[in-house]
A and B are shown apart, each in its own frame.
Chain A
Amino acid sequence: QKEVEQNSGPLSVPEGAIASLNCTYSDRGSQSFFWYRQYSGKSPELIMSIYSNGDKEDGRFTAQLNKASQYVSLLIRDSQPSDSATYLCAVIFSGTYKYIFGTGTRLKVLA
Chain B
Amino acid sequence: DTEVTQTPKHLVMGMTNKKSLKCEQHMGHRAMYWYKQKAKKPPELMFVYSYEKLSINESVPSRFSPECPNSSLLNLHLHALQPEDSALYLCASSQGAQSLRPIYFGEGSWLTVV
Give chain A's interface residues, CB within 8 Å of chain B.
31-32, 34, 36, 42-46, 49, 51, 88, 90, 92, 97, 99, 101-104
| A34 and B102 within 8 A (CB) | yes
How many B residues face the partner with a CB closer than 8 A? 18
CA distance A101 to B106 in the complex (A): 17
Q: B106 near A43 (CB under 8 angstroms)?
A: yes
Q: Which chain A residues lie closer than 8 Å to B97 at the CB level? A: 97
Task: Give the contacting residue for A103; candidates B41, B99, B108; CB below 8 A.
Answer: B41
**A92–B103 CA distance with the chains assembled, in angstroms:** 10
Known contacts A102-B42, A103-B41, A32 near B105 by CB under 8 Å: no
Chain B interfacial positions (CB closer than 8 Å to A): 41-43, 45, 88, 90, 97-108
A88 in contact with B42 (CB, 8 Å):
yes
User: Is chain A's binding surface mostly helix, strand, loop or mixed?
Assistant: strand
Question: Which residues does chain A contribute within 8 Å of B43, judged by CB atoms?
Answer: 44, 88, 101
CB <8 Å contact, A103 and B42:
yes
Instruction: Check A42 against B41 for contact (C-beta < 8 Å).
Output: no
Choose among B45, B90, B102 the residue that contacts A43 (Cβ–Cβ < 8 A): B90
Q: Which residues of A contact B90 (CB under 8 A)?
A: 43-44
Residues on B with C-beta less than 8 A from A104 are 42
Query: With the chains together, A99 CA to B92 CA distance in Å?
Result: 12
B39 to nearest A CB, angstroms? 9
Assuming the contacts A101-B43, A103-B41, A104-B42, asked whether A42 and B104 have C-beta atoms less than 8 A apart, the reply is no
